[in-house]
Amino acid sequence: MKTSLLALGLALAAGSAAADTTLRVHYAIPTIWADTQAALAEAFMAAHPDVTIELDGPAEGYAEGVQRLLRESVAGTAPDVAWVGLNLWRVLEARDLAQPLDAFLPEDPEAQGYTGALLSLGRFENTQYALGTSASTLVAYVNPDLVERAGGSMENFPTDYDGIIELAAKIDALDATIEGVWVSPHDWRFQSFLGAHGGRPMTENESDITFDSDAGVAAATVYSRFASEAGMSTMGQNDARQAFPAGTLGIMFESSSLMTRFAEGAGERFDMTVTPMPIVAADEEVYLPTGGSGIVMLTDDAEKQQAAWDYISFVTSPEAQKIIVETTGYAPTNALVVEDASYLGDFYAQNPNARVAHAQVAQYAGPWYAYPGAEGVAVTDVIAADLLGVVEGADPREAVENLAETTRSMLGFN
């Protein structure tokens, strides 16, 4: 606050140096983001005294946030810049609300820390609509106590699915109330297993479903074997997110964004440990769909667009990314901040779990495929329903093939 007052004073002293611009910024999930957003706005305004950042009242979640943006755009009161879920910016793009950013991107994005993998998070049909601002991928959370009770150790923690299933089965056998492994039957988790096996959900031009490949069957088989061999239950996501910190679940595949929450939940009970996703395919074929947030430009006013870009490039810069990582627990979306130890070296030394997750993002980040068209979101629920069928005992190949057919017909691919 002090700095912004100072900035205001400086701006006044400078007289009419530049026309003052006010940017309205939308964000969601205040429980994670409120403090971070205030800190970012303050830092930005200190560097750009001619721009005032005005934060809209935050939306409760990303989905509610997008609903609000759509309503506001209908009413003509949309904000200038919006932080949205990485799986939801396509909704804005499909309605021509997100402005292309290519004209603003620097000549050599790589040099600024915008690697190809990171740019892919906000890219569609060779146009950049969003830039990632925070990232998360699927990781494995492990309860080392249960691993040891089951005769394993963290030093020899398995790095392939066979090993994990074997270990999980042993943990599951410990006690009636203890579960070995759990992962949600959910589109994003499925895409993660798919990517780890080198598969893709859709063709490049999004004209056909491709998850009925061998990689897709293998991804579904992970679910099937977790259930049949390691006794994975069909308990709901909320139940599992309570069970793991309570110490009754051995291994849980979940978003890396939950790291802080799980660490706090586990507390002194056990030393929660994060391990990377087991990768099956060759590195160049692998990608992990990335959750988190991206930022889009909504204003079509040329003058505001420049200020908006200044803000966007600031929040994706190493300085801002350092703030985001330290205050939210998300992985950064600027390569420089990970590579240059001067930014986060101390942080990683204190948070080895974060380093595992962030390294995974830097290495394998890829877009979280959003299915196109009116039924795009509906499809993800159908995928989740059929994955539950696999967990309950359906044949993985058959299920995946049927699911692909259902999906094609819902999306109008045939």
Partner 1 sequence: MRPRESLTSLVLTAPATLALVIFVFLPVAVVFLLAFTNYQIGAPGLGWVGLDNFEQLFGSRLGRNALLNTLTYVAIVIPASVGLGLLVALGLHALARSMPRLSDVLKAVYFLPVAATLVAMAVSWQMLLHPSLGLINTWSSALGLPAPLWLSDRGLVLYTLSAIGIWQSVGYNMVLFLAGLAAIPPALYDAAEVDGATGGWSRFWLVTWPMLGPTTLFVLVVTAASAFRVFETVATLTKGGPAFASDTIVYALYREGFVYFKAGYASAITVVFFLALLLLTALQVWVIERKVHYR
Site string for partner 1, 173-192 (x = CB under 8 A): ---xxxx-----x-------
Site string for partner 1, 128-167 (x = CB under 8 A): ----------------------------------------
Beta bridge partners of 286: none
d(CA 334, CA 318): 6
Taking CB under 8 A as the rule, does residue 269 contact partner 1?
A: no
Cα dihedral 210, 212, 218, 224 sign: positive
| Candidate residues 384, 395, 397, 402; the one interacting with partner 1 per rule CB under 8 A | 384
Q: Tell how many helices (H) and how many strands (E) occur in the chain.
A: 18, 13
d(CA 84, CA 133): 9
Q: What is the DSSP letter of 58?
A: P
Residue range at the interface with partner 1 (CB under 8 A); choices 20-28, 104-112, 127-135, 375-383: 375-383
Of 69-98, binders to partner 1 (CB under 8 A) are 69-71, 73-74, 91-92, 95-97
CB of 377 to partner 1, least distance (A): 5
- The bridge status of strand 288-289 relative to strand 365-366 is parallel
Cβ-contact 184, 291 below 8 angstroms = no
Taking CB under 8 A as the rule, does residue 389 contact partner 1?
A: yes
d(CA 331, CA 354): 8
d(CA 411, CA 90): 15
CB of 244 to partner 1, least distance (A): 11
Site string for partner 1, 36-65 (x = CB under 8 A): ---------------------------x--
Q: Which token pair is 79?
A: 């904000």
Taking CB under 8 A as the rule, does residue 402 contact partner 1?
A: no
- Other beta carbons less than 10 A from residue 231's beta carbon: 16
Taking CB under 8 A as the rule, does residue 342 contact partner 1?
A: no
Which parts of this chain interact with partner 1 (CB under 8 A)?
63, 67, 69-71, 73-74, 91-92, 95-97, 176-179, 185, 233-236, 238-239, 242-243, 246, 248, 374-375, 377-378, 381, 384-386, 388-389, 392
